[in-house]
Each structure stands twice: as C-alpha cells, then as structure tokens.
Structure 1
C-alpha cells in the first residue's frame, strides 16, 4: 500500500491528474479535528517539561539552561509524538471509518469494476493531505509548547527572559527543527497508510468497520512509538552533542 500510494502520488503529479480538490478537502478536515486538541495538548506538555526540568536544573544552580532543555524536549520529542498521536487518533479513525464504510457498501468493488484504482482515487489524496497537515500541526505544537514553557520559566521559576532565549538558541539548532518536521511527516505517512489499509480490508458490515477503525488507531500508536525509538537512537549516534 505504501509503495503503490507513493508511486501513484508521483505519477498523478507528473501527469497532471492529481485530485487537488479531494486533497484540500481532506486536509481541511484534518486541520479542523486536530488544531484545537493540538494546542490543548501542547500547553500542558510545555508546562510539565519546564517545571520538571526546571526543578532539577535549579538544584544544580543552572537556571538559565531551562530554555535549552525545554527547547530540545519539545522540538525533538514532544511535538512529533503529539502530532503522531493526534493524527493517529482523529485522522486514522476518520479515514478508516470512511474507507471501511465504502468497502462494506461495495463502492470499492464498483470502482475496480469500472477500471478505477481505489488507491489512486481515494488513498493518494489522503496521503498527500496527511503529509501536508502533519508538519503544519507539528509547527503549531512546537510554538505553543515553547511559549507555554517560557511563560512558566520567566514567571514562577524566576528565569530571566534573556538567559532563557540565549541558552535556547545556543543548544537548539536548525537541524533539530528539520528532524522534528521529518518525524512528524513520517508519523503522518504511517498513520494514513495503516488507516487506508484497514479501511479497504473491512469486512462483515458495521462490525467490520468498527474493528478496522480500532485496529488502525492501535497500530498507528504502536508504530509511532517504535519508529520514534529507532529515530531517536539514530539521531543520538550522529548528533550526540545536541541530544546530550
């Protein structure tokens, strides 16, 4: 499914047959169901990172390093995982239920009978929409989490704004942002492929659709956790100083 969808996306773009309207419709739906939960998730995450790390650093007498620790924690780990979990919960369930309902109503079989590939017609626009929305959602979570951590650091914890941003800029590099965006896009790709696969494999009426949705969400979360662990280890090998 992943290989066929990727190949179909490139072919449709080259031939000028890409379904832009369907892609924009799916992207807008993903934004509407994930934007507000993303902000609500990013605020407590930024606060928790700032408080927990700040208390530890305060005992060491290095309060100014709160900015560096909070920035790395939110950008490299918190934002991509939060993005993947939101897309895996809201996005995967919506995509799997939509395609599953089409499958049990035999709409997918009708497309194949007419010589229309369900992957090109249904999967490719959803893959493109997910790849568009995932980095944007990641940026929103990064911004909200860092601002929330900053307000807690300069407020209750008494860190000066200048030292916070100085250490944040000294320890956080542009490569950290690119890694975060890449992880978010990869997580979104995993989510949409799993959701489409489970939706197109739905059998047995409404019960089959419900089982497909449940499997899509569970597998998406598990895949995100495992892939994030692998990426973190690879990044630690090549950028040990930044991670440390």
Structure 2
C-alpha cells in the first residue's frame, strides 16, 4: 500500500497565517477593550464609593501595607546600585570632558527623571502585579468572584477599587524612596571615589534639578502604578484552568505590565523633552 502525505499548498499556508494573525489582533483589541472598561469603572466607582461612604478603606489600607512589604526592601536594593552605576558611568564621561563639577546635576537628573519612575514601575509590575494577579486569580479559580456576582456584589467595587487606590498611594511613596536612596548612593560614590567636593555636587544638583522634574517623576510613577493594577486585576479576574491558570495570569500580568511601562515611559519622555526641556533652576 502506498502512503500519501498531505502537503498544503502555498495559498493554504498563507491563509492560515493570515487567519492566525487576524485572530491574535482581534483578541488583543478585545483584551484592551476589557482593560479600558475595568479602568473606567474603577475610576468612576472610586469617586461614587467615596461620595456614598461605601469605600472599602480597611481593604485599601491592608492592600497598601502588603504592597509596601513586598516592594520597600527591593526598592532600596535596586536604588543603591542604580545610583552608583549612574554616578560611575556618567562621572567617567564628565571627567573626560573636564566638567567634574556637573556630576551632581547629571546624576540627579538621571535618577529623578528616568531611574526612579522606571524602578518604581518595574517593582510594582514585578512583585506588585504578581501578588495582585495571584490573589485575584486564586479567588476566581475558587469561584469566589462568581459568588460575589451571584450575591449582587460587584467585584470591581469590592476588590479592584481598593487595590487601585492602594497602588496609587504606594507608587509615589516608593518613587520618593528610590530618589532619596539613589541620589544618596550617587553622592557617596562621587565624593568618595571620584574626588568631587560636596559643595559642587549639591550646587549643580540644585541648579539643574527643578521641582518640575520631581513632579514629573511622581506623575509617571502614579501612571505606571495605575497601569500595573489594571492589568494585574484584569488578568486575575479572567484566570481559568485551575492552578495553571493562576500561574499563567501572573506571568501575563508581569510581562504586560513591564511592556506597558516601557512604552508609556518612552512616550512620556518624548513629551516632557518637547514641552519641559532641561533648564537651570
């Protein structure tokens, strides 16, 4: 007996690839639409819950404390080497140009405008998103979300909104902590290993770093935190397939959070460079 193997023609292969690509695009747009819906309902629901005195303050405080416990120490450990790296790398370049006194300005701007908000976003997108997605994913797998819907309780108001408020509260605090530790670490390296005087370091730091830079850093941290909490909550609420589904939700939350943070940071950096260029204080 002669065996006949089926080999799809070129048109069939192209059609399969096209269908898979279009299906992926449609699924991505639907996922984005659901995330936008959760974001809109969460923002509006926060205002209405506070106005009606129905906001879950106890849950929000508990979630804020949990976020602090999983991100505070990693933030310090990340800020120290980041401040040192910025000080060493930028210091070598500045030393070559003969402008050692500007090390405070460049190091401070690097930490405040880019390092601190990015580190905050990555920490929240890593540890924070994983914790939120795992918590809500486990609740979804145990059918607690279905039970809330059955009782007429909105999971968005009961679970998502307190976590969103907690994230928006922790994000700027974490950003300030990273700024303080990163700048201090860069300062110690500059005066201890690169021969920069403390006076010139702080003088140039104060001349080039303005309050607008700090506010931009804080706003970026809040935006990153908002993206992280919406993505993590959506992935957790849509988890399915048992424990494997929870793991997949955690992985997707972390990856999507990091990608979103990098993309938004690129856009925000371009906009701030156009409308708020670096200038003397």
Give the TM-score normalised by structure 1.
Answer: 0.98
Where in structure 2 are the equivalents of 1:57-72 lying within 5 Å? Answer: 57-72=94-109
**1:136 to 2:173 alignment:** yes
Match of 1:73 in 2: 110
Deviation per residue, 1:2-24 (Å, 9 max, x gap): 10111111111111111111000
Q: Cα offset for 1:242? A: 3.7
Instruction: Give 1:239 shift.
Output: 1.7
Alpha-carbon distance in 2 for matches of 1:162, 1:15:
53
Corresponding residue to 1:112 among 149, 160, 178: 149
Can you list the C-alpha shifts for 1:37-70, whole angstroms capped at 9, x where unaligned?
0000000000000000011001111101000000
C-alpha distance in structure 1 between counterparts of 2:269 and 2:125, whole Å: 20
Alignment equivalent of 2:56, drawn from 19, 29, 44: 19
Distance 1:236 1:171 in 2: 14
SS in 2 for 1:224: helix
Give the one of 79, 87, 91 matched to 2:128.
Answer: 91
Q: 1:78, 1:53 → 2: CA distance?
A: 14
Structure 1 partner of 2:199: 162
Where in structure 1 do 4 or more consecutive aligned residues deviate above 4 Å? none
Please tell me whether Structure 1 or Structure 2 has the larger radius of gyration of its CA atoms.
2
Partner of 2:240: helix, strand, or coil?
coil
Residue of structure 2 aligned with 1:220, choices 226, 241, 257: 257
CA positional deviation for 1:241:
3.3
Give 2:236's aligned residue: 199
* Structure 1: runs of 5+ lacking an equivalent: none
Query: 1:162, 1:105 → 2: CA distance?
Result: 60
Distance in 2, matches of 1:43 and 1:220, equals 23
Structure 1, residues 64-101: CA drift from partner, whole Å, max 9, x if none?
Answer: 10000001000000000000000111110010011011
Say whether 1:181 aligns with 2:218: yes
Secondary structure of 1:115's counterpart equals coil
After TM superposition, give the deviation of residue 240 of structure 1 in Å.
2.3
Q: 1:122 aligns with which of 159, 183, 190?
A: 159
Preserved CA contact (<8 Å) 2:208 2:278: no
Counterpart Cα distance in 1 of 2:124 and 2:178: 13
Match of 1:101 in 2: 138
For residue 46 of structure 1, the aligned residue among 83, 105, 111 is 83
Distance of 2:152 and 2:276 partners within structure 1: 49
Inter-partner Cα distance in structure 2 for 1:36 and 1:211? 26
* Higher RCO, Cα 8 Å, sep 6+: 1
Say what the alpha-carbon RMSD is for the aligned residues.
Answer: 0.9
Q: How many residues align?
A: 243
